[in-house]
Structure 1
């Protein structure tokens, strides 16, 4: 049985660990002739919807940061001459990435071992651990 990898999803949260994961994914994509789909998740809890205008401002700022992170990823992909698409998702990070990967037919997810949210990892468990538990797509964790 052979596994063909043509679409590689990469979790990009702006941390150095996520850009290290992108670098490894780009190298792999180059070797396999695959494309990269960078995933950035805006963790906007629905409980905050009551905040109205303030939430709109926060969401706009988060979207601007997400676009900058994905643009940096696009620059790295261009240097390696690897096809690249950046996608902004919303919601729970692990669930959003796992669902997108399954729904869009990604062949592999690549994530960094430790992202931005060190405190939330201690309290809620790491995004990477959750992703490993729920993803229907293979997950490669880069240390």
Structure 2
């Protein structure tokens, strides 16, 4: 099985390559790099202006040769494709065990605007997607945090985190938020009406410890917004945050509120695990 790392030679290029080089052997995968040259625009120009066709063809051939040379210098297997990046990488991702992408942007709006490829793959839900920021390649994993609730998506994320724990020698920390009624994380497995916050937290911890075992540590805390989980992950100095994505949702809420919040806010490496994942 292979780890697929999609590269665009942007801010995250080195981070993605370093992550692929470190993670693939540790997880028993073969690293494959892929870069897509988006040529449909140039094909359209050549069709509209036939006199440009030879020049455009020559330019694209030179670009492809230079990209192949750069990827070959990494010492990892690599492919250069032409086409629409989302579709080309999506086809490759269907045959991968893990996909690694760069996560760029300094503010939530920029992250949202520049995350087209990541969102496309996340919504397809065919493979776990690991997003790494420019300055934080995932080369050493000591502490893995996994968001837990009562869902099957959360269970898939937890099982993957346990597998990575064994392979990487890491600690797994369970994270769970409890909100009041109407908040982000109202516990459907409890009836908190008439219970104090302390009682709800105690019962939630007991429920999660019974459902998710073995856990190195479990943090159950109050939170009224999905972004509170990201702040909790920062405070715990995690190397990696793992979240499950739900398959049976509307398109707008396909990934779940916590994943959406993490995509826009976290500066940690983020691993999004589809509900149907079996690692």
CA distance in structure 2 between the partners assigned to 1:10 and 1:70 by the alignment:
13
Match of 1:64 in 2: 203
Match of 1:14 in 2: 150
Match of 2:242 in 1: 110
> Which deviates more, 133-142 or 33-42?
133-142
Contact kept? 1:21, 1:110, Cα under 8 Å: yes
CA distance in structure 2 between the partners assigned to 1:46 and 1:22 by the alignment:
26
Shift of 1:55: 5.9
SS in 2 for 1:64: helix
Please identify runs of 4+ aligned residues in structure 1 that moved more than 2 A. Answer: 44-47, 58-63
Q: State the number of aligned residues.
A: 126
Match of 2:259 in 1: 128
Instruction: Give the TM-score normalised by the residue count of structure 2.
Output: 0.40
Match of 1:34 in 2: 170
CA distance in structure 1 between the partners assigned to 2:225 and 2:270 by the alignment:
14
**1:7/1:58 Cα in 2 relative to 1: closer, same or farther (>3 Å)?**
same
CA distance in structure 2 between the partners assigned to 1:11 and 1:66 by the alignment:
13
Match of 1:101 in 2: 233
Contact kept? 1:42, 1:93, Cα under 8 Å: no
CA distance in structure 2 between the partners assigned to 1:34 and 1:93 by the alignment:
28
Greater Rg, structure 1 or structure 2?
Answer: 2
**1:71/1:134 Cα in 2 relative to 1: closer, same or farther (>3 Å)?**
same
**1:136/1:56 Cα in 2 relative to 1: closer, same or farther (>3 Å)?**
farther
Task: Provide Cα deviations, 1:42-100, integer angstroms capped at 9, x if missing partner.
Answer: 023799xxxxxx86616324641343113422x2x2xxxxx610100211353221111
Q: How does 1:67-78 map to 2 (within 5 A)?
A: 67-73=206-212, 75=213, 77=214
Contact kept? 1:11, 1:39, Cα under 8 Å: yes
What is the aligned-residue RMSD (CA, Å)? 3.0
**Structure 2: tracts of 5 or more residues without a match:** 1-17, 19-136, 184-191, 275-279
Shift of 1:128: 0.8
Contact kept? 2:201, 2:220, Cα under 8 Å: no
Shift of 1:4: 0.8
Contact kept? 2:153, 2:244, Cα under 8 Å: yes
Equivalent residue for 1:141, pick from 272, 276, 279: 272
CA distance in structure 1 between the partners assigned to 2:154 and 2:224 by the alignment:
17
**Structure 1: tracts of 5 or more residues without a match:** 48-53, 78-82
SS in 2 for 1:57: coil
